[in-house]
Amino acid sequence: MTTPPPALTLAQLGWHPFFAAQIDADALTETPPVRVMRVHRSGLDVQGEGRAETLPPDAEVTVGDWLLLGGDGRPLERRSLIRRRAPGRDREVQLVAANVDTVFVTTSCNADFNVARLERYLALAFEAGCDPVIVLTKADLSDEVDDYVARAAALSPLVPVLAVNAKAAAAREALMPWCGPGRTVAFLGTSGVGKSTLLNALAGVETAATGAIREDDARGRHTTTRRELHVVPGGFCVIDTPGMRELQLTDAAGGIGEVFADIAELAGGCRFSDCAHLSEPGCAVRAAVAAGDLDPDRLERWRKLAAEDAHNTADIAERRRRDKAFGKKVRAATRAKRR
């Protein structure tokens, strides 16, 4: 037995003038808007004002999306969309979460802290159209918190950095400035960094199971079910995603450019507009490295991330082209057989 969902208003679910502007007044009652609260194998749990249903699964819809019940099934235009290249077999683009205002990029003041990974998460968040905030957990367990904060703060002048003990009441206060009524926030980070602990701190109750990520789904199979939107007291939404070990970027050139705005700006001074900053004469980027103004490691990390993004973007496009061509062949063969 599942307990019925609490009665919520559209505003508490994160409804926003941006979405209202996409439908006319009649549609509000004829095809009522619902938000995707949970994505699991057997379907999408959606909730609206005075209603909650499970719709069939749809790979084009993700947690945080708004749908119109009885509509064409397509999500309303999104304010933001977090996507990555899926790990494992199909390697397609995977939609992680939609309509997130702030991404709390979460890591810990310990060996989990990794600047390359942080830059990667920041690029993903910028590309998605979200505002990233870096949250460093386990500050209570480290003597070098200031050092971690300084290293995180050096990554981008656009990104605030917080250090917290996720288990202490003060953690909620630290995150609240980004959690106004009607806002949607999400936690991204590897397993064990304290995402569930922070969610519980925001909710004021045990909403997520900490330290336990596997549950049985309806078919008795083991799955990571946590891709879930929680409406918490205070009237804001928190999206919880499973820890992501592999976070491959695709189509994220814009986001990478925002994280590495320093390099992009320097590149404007290179003699050639298509300078790769390798051995070209008049390269302002390498000149900055030589002058000690740019960390060569950062340049190397940018190079790797940009190359990976370009590779994934091209590879996915190529697979789609092949799949399309293959589909055509199959259809042609089926037609030939029928004749």
Ligand X SMILES: Nc1nc2c(ncn2[C@@H]2O[C@H](COP(=O)(O)OP(=O)(O)OP(=O)(O)O)[C@@H](O)[C@H]2O)c(=O)[nH]1
- Which residue ranges make up the site for ligand X (CB under 6 A)? 137-138, 140-141, 165-167, 189, 191-197, 210-211, 213, 242-243
201 binds, among ligand X, Zn ion, none (CB under 5 to 8 A by kind): none
CA gap 63, 72 in Å, rounded = 18
CA gap 98, 114 in Å, rounded = 26
Residue 140 annotated as binding site: yes
User: According to CB under 5 A, which one of 40, 120, 277, 301 is a site residue for Zn ion?
Assistant: 277
Tell me the closest approach of the beta carbon of residue 299 to Zn ion, in angstroms: 10
Residue 273 annotated as binding site: no
CA gap 248, 57 in Å, rounded = 24
Question: What residues contact 217, with CB distance under 8 A and at least 6 apart?
Answer: 40, 41, 42, 223, 225
CA gap 56, 88 in Å, rounded = 23
Residue 131 annotated as binding site: no
Q: What is the DSSP letter of 277?
A: S
Choose between 139 and 259: whose C-beta lies nearer to ligand X.
Answer: 139
288 binds, among Zn ion, ligand X, none (CB under 5 to 8 A by kind): none
Residue 98 has phi, psi (to 5 degrees) of -120, 155
Tell me the closest approach of the beta carbon of residue 81 to ligand X, in angstroms: 21
User: According to CB under 5 A, which one of 130, 198, 283, 289 is a site residue for Zn ion?
Assistant: 283
Q: What is the largest CA-CA distance in the chain?
A: 76
Per CB under 5 A, 288 contacts Zn ion: no
Residue 179 annotated as binding site: no
CA gap 83, 127 in Å, rounded = 9
The two tokens of residue 162 are 């917080």
Per CB under 5 A, 260 contacts Zn ion: no
State the number of binding residues for Zn ion (CB under 5 A).
Answer: 5
Residue 130 annotated as binding site: no
193 binds, among ligand X, Zn ion, none (CB under 5 to 8 A by kind): ligand X
Residue 144 has phi, psi (to 5 degrees) of -120, 35
Q: Is 149 exposed, middle or buried (CB count within 10 Å of its CB: 0-12, 13-18, 19+)?
A: middle
Tell me the closest approach of the beta carbon of residue 61 to ligand X, in angstroms: 23
Closest residue to ligand X using C-beta atoms = 194
Residue 109 annotated as binding site: no
CA gap 55, 71 in Å, rounded = 12
270 binds, among ligand X, Zn ion, none (CB under 5 to 8 A by kind): Zn ion
Choose between 137 and 250: whose C-beta lies nearer to ligand X.
Answer: 137
Tell me the closest approach of the beta carbon of residue 300 to Zn ion, in angstroms: 14
Residue 80 has phi, psi (to 5 degrees) of -160, 160
Instruction: Give the residue ranges of the annotated binding site.
Output: 137-140, 189-197, 270, 275, 277, 283
Instruction: Give the residue ranges of the annotated binding site for Zn(2+).
Output: 270, 275, 277, 283
Q: Which residues bind Zn ion (CB under 5 A)?
A: 270, 275, 277, 283, 285
